[in-house]
Amino acid sequence: GWLDDEEGWPGFGEEVPQQVPSVAASEPAAAAAKAVEEVGWLDDEEGWPGVGEEEGAADSASPPVAPAPAAAPASKKRAVIYTHVHLASGCTEGGSGLPNYFFRKLCEGVPEGEGFNQEWSEDDFRRSVAASDVVEVDQAIYVECFNSPIEAETQWALDLCADPESLVVGVVAKVPVNEGAEAVEAFLTQFRVGSAAALPKALKGARCIFLGEEMPPADACLDAKFLEGLAALEPSGLHWEWCCQPCALPHVAAVCARFPNMQFVLDHCGHDDGEEDFDTWADALERVALNPNVVCKMGGCEKWGVKNPQRYVAKALEIFGIDRVLYESNWFVGAALGEPYDRNFRHLMKSLEFLDWMSEEKMTKVFRENAKRVYRLE
């Protein structure tokens, strides 16, 4: 079974003990689920080979082959479409950017808050990514993050999309769905253009988090006003992203079933501000995944409240399957809490290795093609 203490488990690329069954991608999901429960993974990535490194190369008896003098070294980094970047530029006291409510509240006596109270520009994001030796980002989706007012935040993010030098190619805006149909239409009207009153192509989705200083009830998404707002959002073509605690997942599943023609994205594997609750979380996640209109983002583990997030990532992958998962982390939240940008990437790579889903076709889906489909990227 899985251990919370991962000392002694095999590393990424090490040979798994013979008594543990391997799982081929073509085998039934039940076999994958069984294997997930039989092996633990190291949370400490020290010593793991980089993406593209040949495992066991140091033990090879073959003599080294010198590269051709004119050839540039091949990059070990995997290029990805990153589906969850938060930015907040010029938001600190005296800055010229948008005020950020999240930072202000965190810094009011919350021990971890001070790490957030700084600039989080796209240049800062690029520097965080560049520090990784395994992953690089060539496109990114901006996700709302308490910059205010929300209309100005949305326009700022859309302006980034219009800048050919920016990595940002799509926006998930804070649309006030929880305030009902009238509020949704009033927000969207401000961004409609032309005689057809079309929304900008870069506006891809909407989100309001079901989290807070005082956590909302687990069934808050069943509120009549919220359902009214979601019904008003659906004709716009925008998808909805869920950001919630694990206890909300059964109710999230019910709402997704009520809107079968609408695309939903579950952020952070549905485990924000969670705890050590693997079995109840996994059961609830399976209920969400029964809805084919839901995809799941793999990341954000710095706020999960668990000792072994690798276990959760592998299970979420097994539940949703290769065509319904997206790569994310949670920058800048992870960075403010001291996490390297690529921690979630490494978790995901280990899970793909464990499930024997390391073919280039499968990895391309996880890190690129699924994002292109869900975010309607050209």
Question: pLDDT tens digits, residue range 239-286?
Answer: 999 999 999 999 999 999 999 999 999 999 999 988 999 999 999 999
Stretch among 108-112, 234-238, 371-375 having the lowest mean pLDDT: 108-112
pLDDT of 31 higher than 70: no
pLDDT digits (tens, 9 = 90+) for 62-99: 445 555 444 445 568 999 999 999 999 876 665 667 88
What distance in Å separates the CA atoms of residue 304 and residue 217, rounded to the nearest whole number? 18
Nearest Cα residue to 120 out of 368, 377, 371, 337: 337
Stretch among 9-18, 66-75, 77-86, 294-303 having the lowest mean pLDDT: 9-18
Q: How far is CA 257 from the centre of its chain?
A: 22
Longest dimension (CA), the chain: 71
pLDDT at residue 94, as a whole number: 59
Q: What is the mean pLDDT of residues 166-175?
A: 98
pLDDT at residue 158, as a whole number: 97
Q: What is the mean pLDDT of residues 304-316?
A: 92
pLDDT at residue 89, as a whole number: 82
Name the most confidently modeled range: 6-10, 38-42, 183-187, 209-213. 183-187
What distance in Å separates the CA atoms of residue 298 and residue 35, rounded to the nearest whole number? 19
Collapsing DSSP states into helix, strand and coil, what is residue 326?
A: strand
What percent of the chain lies above the pLDDT cut of 70? 75
pLDDT at residue 107, as a whole number: 53
CA angle 33, 297, 27 (to 5 degrees): 25
CB 252 within 8 A of CB 242: yes
pLDDT digits (tens, 9 = 90+) for 146-156: 899 999 999 99
In order of 44, 118, 176, 313, 378, the CA distances from 144 in angstroms are: 31, 17, 12, 24, 22
What are the tokens at 291? Answer: 């809805």
Better pLDDT: 307 or 251: 251
pLDDT at residue 111, as a whole number: 58
Q: 376: which residues sit within 8 A by CB, 6+ positions away?
A: 170, 201, 204
What percent of the chain lies above the pLDDT cut of 90? 63
